Structure 1
C-alpha cells in the first residue's frame, strides 16, 4: 500500500466529517472556532488558517485516511495541527506516516527546521508518537490540558 500526501478534495471533507461524531471530538480536533454539527462542504472554510496548508493522506485507492494542516508558528517555526486519522486506520501506523510526510512537507514549504504542535495530555497514543518523532515538551508553553511540543 502506497500512501501519498495530497491536497484534499471536497469528497475528502465529507469523509473527514464522518470521523467527527460529537462536540467534544470536534473541539479536540479542530478547536473552539469550528462549530458542531457542521456541514462537510463548509469544512474547507471552517478549517482555513491564514497562510496555512491542508493535506490528506490517501491510500492506494485514493481514499483519504488521514488529514492534517500546517501554518506559520512562533519565532520562525512551522506548526502542525488538526491531525486526524480514519477510525478504521488507527493503530496501524497511519498516524506516523501522516506526521512524517506532513512534517517533511511543512519543512520543505516553509524552510523552517523547527516544527511545533499541541497535543492533549490525555492522548497518550499521540504523545507517544510525537515523542518518537523527536518532539519534546515545553512546559512553559503548555496548559493543564494541552502539551506544547517542539522539534529542534
Structure 2
C-alpha cells in the first residue's frame, strides 16, 4: 500500500474531527487552546500556528489516516506537534511512517538541524516510537505531565 504525506485539505479535517471523542483527548492532542466540542470547519483556524505547516498522511485511496504539524521555534530548531493517527491505523506502523515523513519534510523545508516534540509521560506507545526515531528526553525542559524530546541533547 502506498502512503503519501500531503498538504491537509478540509476533507482531512472532517475525518480528523471524528477521531477526537472528548475534551481530554482533544486537550492531549491539540492543547488547551482548542475547545471541545469543535466543528471540523473550525480546525484549520484552531490549529493554526504562526509559520506552521500542516500535513496529512493518506493511504492509496487518498483517505487521511494521520496528521501532524511543524513550526520553527528558533533558528535551527523545528518542533513537531499535534501528531495523530486514525484509531483504525494505530499499532501497524502508520505512526512511524507519519513521523519519518514529517521529520524529513520539516528538516527539508526549514533547514533545521534539531527537532523537538512534546509527549505525555504516560503515552508509552508514542514515547517508544519517538525514542526509536532518535529522540531523547530533555528533562530540564519537561514538566510533570509532558516530556520535551529532542533529536539532540544540545538544549
Q: Name the TM-score, length of structure 1 as normaliser.
A: 0.98
Partner in structure 2 of residue 141 of structure 1:
141
Residues 113-128 of structure 1 aligned to structure 2 (within 5 Å): 113-128=113-128
SS of the residue 1:91 aligns to: coil
Runs (4 or more) in structure 1 with deviation over 2 Å come to none
Runs (5+) with no aligned partner, structure 2: none
SS of the residue 1:126 aligns to: helix
Aligned-residue CA RMSD (Å): 0.7
Q: Name the TM-score, length of structure 2 as normaliser.
A: 0.97
Partner in structure 2 of residue 102 of structure 1:
102
Partner in structure 2 of residue 79 of structure 1:
79
How far the C-alpha of 1:33 sits from its partner, in A, is 0.3
Partner in structure 1 of residue 132 of structure 2:
132
Alpha-carbon distance in 2 for matches of 1:110, 1:10: 25
1:108–1:48 CA distance, 2 compared to 1 (3 A): same
1:75–1:146 CA distance, 2 compared to 1 (3 A): farther
Give the number of aligned pairs.
Answer: 152
